[in-house]
Amino acid sequence: MNGTRREALKFITGAAGVAVLAPLLCGAQDPSQQNPSKTNASGDTNEDPALESKRVKNALEQNQKDIKKNIERLFQLAAELKDEVEKTDATTTLSLVMLRKTEEIEKLARQIREKAKG
């Protein structure tokens, strides 16, 4: 019985490995060939450079708005945490609300950092 289970497990593991590695071993398709209608004979895209720069500019503007909104939220959370710390005697009790606020602040700070990186 153990031998049968072991052989079945080997087979399943091997099949999963082949399924994952097959695209890598066979070579992935060139991205320009995935949608040939957007490329010309030289392999360049048919998009207008002005349109592309406008799209990039809009994305950067939206990113900037998101960063400002997140920074305002971060400031609000920091103020709430400060109020909570002032209300609570941290030497005797550790407030669960304080821990949740700090975790939320850390998460938001990481999001801001990632957006700022681009």
Domain ranges of the chain: 50-118
**DSSP H helix total and E strand total for the chain:** 4, 0
Between CA 21 and CA 23 the distance in angstroms is: 6
What's the chain's Rg over C-alpha atoms?
26
Between CA 74 and CA 107 the distance in angstroms is: 10
30: number of Cβ within 10 Å: 9
What is the per-residue pLDDT for 92?
A: 73
Helix (H, G, I), strand (E, B) or coil at 48: coil
pLDDT digits (tens, 9 = 90+) for 67-87: 999 999 999 999 998 888 888
The overall longest dimension of the chain from CA atoms, in Å, is 73
What is the per-residue pLDDT for 71?
A: 92
Q: Determine what percent of the chain is predicted with pLDDT higher than 70.
A: 59
Between CA 12 and CA 18 the distance in angstroms is: 10
pLDDT digits (tens, 9 = 90+) for 86-105: 888 767 777 788 888 899 99
